Chain A
Amino acid sequence: MQRAQISALREGALASVGLLVGIVPWGIVAGVAMVSAGLTQAQAVAMSLLVFAGTAQLAVLPLLIAKAPLWVMIATALVVNLRYVIYSGVLAPHFEHLPRRWRVLLSYVTVDGVFALFAGRYRPDDGNRHKHWYFLGGSLVMWWAWQISSGVGIFAGAMIPWEWSLEFASTLALIGVLIPLLFDRAVAWGALAAGGVALIAARLPLNLGLLAAIVVGVAVGLAVARLGPRNGEGRD
């Protein structure tokens, strides 16, 4: 490794240390919640390693407890992860010159916080040849923090009595993730509509209520963005 690569790696790692305050409790809760939802410790560790997407993991757990069908859970993971499609589109021009194995690695480790740091710091056409090291440095810090904190939660979770209802912590953590998204007016109205539909349609078979809620929520969000002033759809 050249000196410039090491220095970019280190810069990325240091910048993402500030994100640890958020990811560590989040990882512990995900670990506890996975075990509380009925996963074995091996399954929970496998989920942390292979999926490595906290919001999707926590979103699926209440559905697993409610005995939703497999396809509904996977469809939900897909919807919650759609934000990564946007990130992928923004990151692609930065990484297009890299070898395939680099692009596979960087895809796997992408998380919200590091994406935000990276996108705020680099431009696609800035000609910087070491910026993927910055991304990797930040991502590695987040990856390790996630795996270690999940592991703590997984092994602590097995010792916590069932009556404490710690599976409820995954719903509470989802509330914590949702709130910052709601500062966009169109997103907020869409989410409110989705919550209402989910309640009304809770008795539909096969959890179709959840999917109906998402469709209505997106439609309401689009309608509000179209009707309202342009600043109602500002990027966050």
Chain B
Amino acid sequence: MAAESWLIWALIAGMALIAFLTRAVFILPGSHLRLPPTAERVLRYAPAAAIMAIIVPDLALAHGALSISIENPRLVGGLVAFAIAAATRSILATIVGGMLALTLVRQFAG
């Protein structure tokens, strides 16, 4: 289960570099440079696209195969979480509700 140690340390180092550089890119040179509007839009669309592209396969694939079924606990848990997040905007409620739905489906569909 656990990935190799060097891989995780390399991941941490790479992410630390990325996290610092994306924040420092304009602050550190002290530049007055403004982003062109199109670039700014790309920078806004990309994170939401990436997050959705991580979430959807995690919910809808089971062992690499499409699993659209009320007996797929992750799909049901995820959809419940989407509904709660839209209604409450609370991350805590979203996580608790999604985990509860996951557990219930496992109990009754498993």
- The residues of A with any CB-CB pair to B shorter than 8 Å are 22, 25-26, 29, 38-40, 43, 46-47, 50-53, 55-57, 59-60, 62-64, 67, 70, 73-74, 76-89, 91-93, 95-97, 100, 103-104, 106-108, 110, 165-166, 168-169, 171-182, 184, 186-188, 190-199, 202-203, 209-210, 213-214, 216-218, 221-222, 225, 233
Contacts and interface: CB of A to CB of B under 8 A. Distances in A.
Nearest to A69: B7
Contact of A172 (B1, B64, B81): B81
A194 B58 CA distance: 14
Interface residues of B, number: 72
Interface of B: 1-3, 5, 7-16, 18-20, 22-35, 38, 40-61, 64, 66, 74, 77-78, 81-82, 85-86, 89-92, 94-95, 98-99, 102
Contacts of A40: 2, 5, 8
B12, B27, B42: most-surrounded residue (chain A CB, <10 A)? B27
Main secondary structure, interface of B, reads helix
A89 B33 contact: yes
Contacts of B48: 178, 181-182, 187-188, 190-191, 194, 217, 221
Nearest to B99: A169
Contacts of B74: 168, 171
A123 B35 CA distance: 18
B9 A55 contact: no
A110 B23 contact: yes
